[in-house]
């Protein structure tokens, strides 16, 4: 499995454009997303996407097949809650990736994980002012 990085361009809530690089592996003529997006909306681990190669870089084109995973992006207000939260999420069957300073965490919720339990966990933590979260790609119903 040879991994490549795909560049995703997204717009923030202020209307400014940014780029995020996300790991992917070859899936025939397409790519399977291997990373968990920290910023990019509407993409989850396992999604099959197409990408255009320009000057030795891959640029996201479109989602071809959804993996059924959901992505939740979390900003921790205080890092003392981080380690416990990540262990709790792993125990629920989720995986995660964090930014360098570990204040921003992207959580992958696989399709076989009961989403309502994960969502409730985030809602309670937000009510307790531990973090704020955003459902950036919701595939669970």
> How far is it, in rounded angstroms, from Cα 84 to Cα 64?
36
Query: What is the model's pLDDT at position 2?
Result: 81
Instruction: List the beta strands (DSSP E) in 1-141.
Output: 3-11, 17-27, 30-33, 48-54, 57-65, 70-76, 95-98, 104-109, 131-137
Band the pLDDT of 141: cuts 50, 70, 90.
low
Domain residue extents for the chain: 3-65, 70-137
Write the pLDDT tens digit of every residue in 5-14: 999 999 998 9
Give the CATH fold of the 70-137 domain. Answer: Alpha-Beta Plaits (3.30.70)
């Amino acid at each position: 499995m040879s991994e490549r990085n795909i560049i995703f361009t997204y717009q923030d809530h202020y209307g400014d454009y940014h780029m995020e690089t996300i790991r992917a592996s070859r899936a025939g003529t397409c790519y399977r997303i291997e990373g968990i997006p920290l910023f990019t909306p509407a993409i989850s681990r396992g999604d099959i996407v197409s990408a255009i190669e320009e000057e030795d870089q891959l640029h996201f084109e479109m989602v071809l097949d959804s993996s059924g995973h959901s992505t939740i992006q979390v900003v921790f207000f205080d890092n003392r809650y981080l380690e416990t939260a990540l262990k709790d999420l792993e125990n629920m069957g989720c995986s995660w990736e964090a930014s360098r300073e570990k204040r921003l965490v992207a959580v992958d919720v696989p399709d076989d994980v009961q989403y309502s339990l994960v969502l409730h966990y985030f809602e309670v933590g937000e009510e307790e002012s531990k973090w704020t979260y955003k459902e950036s790609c919701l595939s669970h119903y």
